[in-house]
Structure 1
Amino acid sequence: MTAANAPRPFILRRSADHTAVSGADDVAEGVLFNDGTTVIRWRGSRASTVVWASLNDALAVHGHDGATRPVFADEPPAAQPHSSRPTASTITDDQLDRLHKQRDFFAHAAERAEAALDRVRDLAHRMRAGSPCGAAAVYAERIEQALDGREQQ
């Protein structure tokens, strides 16, 4: 086997994790074979190994819109950035836009969750008021305990 057709090991380097599952940094190890077949071994507590028909197929699923890229072991060191995380001077407009969208999404999700909790608290209060000594009051107490993080007795 010559160097030209030898398997090429690589690391999958992720600059941003849009799913908050695997994080940013080096998330997987892989090998690209001469026929294009790609094997990826995911790092982490739930590691898995996947065989793909091509590296492009793997990146189409796990590429995070360009935030994940292969860094081949045979690349010269200058082609391998020291840090995969963007800095203020290297972040692209698209990356910045995605970060702003994520921030807005999570801010709105937090607002919606808080509003839902307020509705549940109000419902528990009305249940207790409607039946201060009945089963509804017991359920209202359990709801309030769960919302406040108190132990049930």
Structure 2
Amino acid sequence: MRRFELYRYRDPSGVSGTGVVAIGLEFPPDHEGHQWVALKWLGRHPALTLWASLYDLLEIHGHLGASDIRWLDPDPFEDPEDTPPCRSAAPAALRHAHQGE
């Protein structure tokens, strides 16, 4: 498992605000390959949500590149020598999937 923050650069909906708007936990893959994600929303409307993947989470709450994942822990499946610092953003595939849509 590893922890992350959902960081919002701009708030198109005007609800969550900017900066760290939620904290999350990514679970190891299940038997179907899903890496379930639990997300605790901060702010005026606290909530707890579950997602089957980070991609699914960002598809809804990424606001087309307005939000990013900031890892607090290293990826347990990567070689530590090949891993960027813990506060790296979401994998490029996730970021690029939401930019320019």
TM-score norm. by structure 2 comes to: 0.68
Moved over 6 A (4+): none
Bigger strand share: 2
Q: Say if 2:9 is the partner of 1:15.
A: yes
Tell me the equivalent position of 1:38. 37
Which amino acid in 1 is paired with 2:12? H
Q: Would the alpha carbon gap of residues 53 and 74 (structure 1) be closer, same or farther in structure 2, given more than 3 Å must change?
A: same
Is 2:22 the partner of 1:28?
yes
Percent of aligned pairs sharing the same letter: 36
Q: Radius of gyration: which is bigger?
A: 1
Pairwise CA RMSD:
2.1
Q: Which amino acid aligns with 1:57?
A: D
Greater relative contact order: 1 or 2 (C-alpha under 8 angstroms, separation 6 or more)? 2
Aligned pairs, how many?
A: 76
Unaligned segments of structure 1, at least 5 residues: 1-6, 81-93, 96-153
- Whole-angstrom CA distance in 1 between matches of 2:26 and 2:88: 18
What secondary structure, in the 3-state scheme, does the structure 1 residue paired with 2:24 have? strand
The gaps in structure 2 that reach 5 residues or longer are 30-34, 75-84, 90-98
Structure whose residues are more often helix by fraction: 1
Shift of 1:49: 0.2
* 2:22 aligned counterpart, secondary structure: strand
Aligned counterparts, 1:1-153, within 5 A? 7-35=1-29, 36-74=35-73, 76=85, 79=88
1:74 CA displacement: 2.3
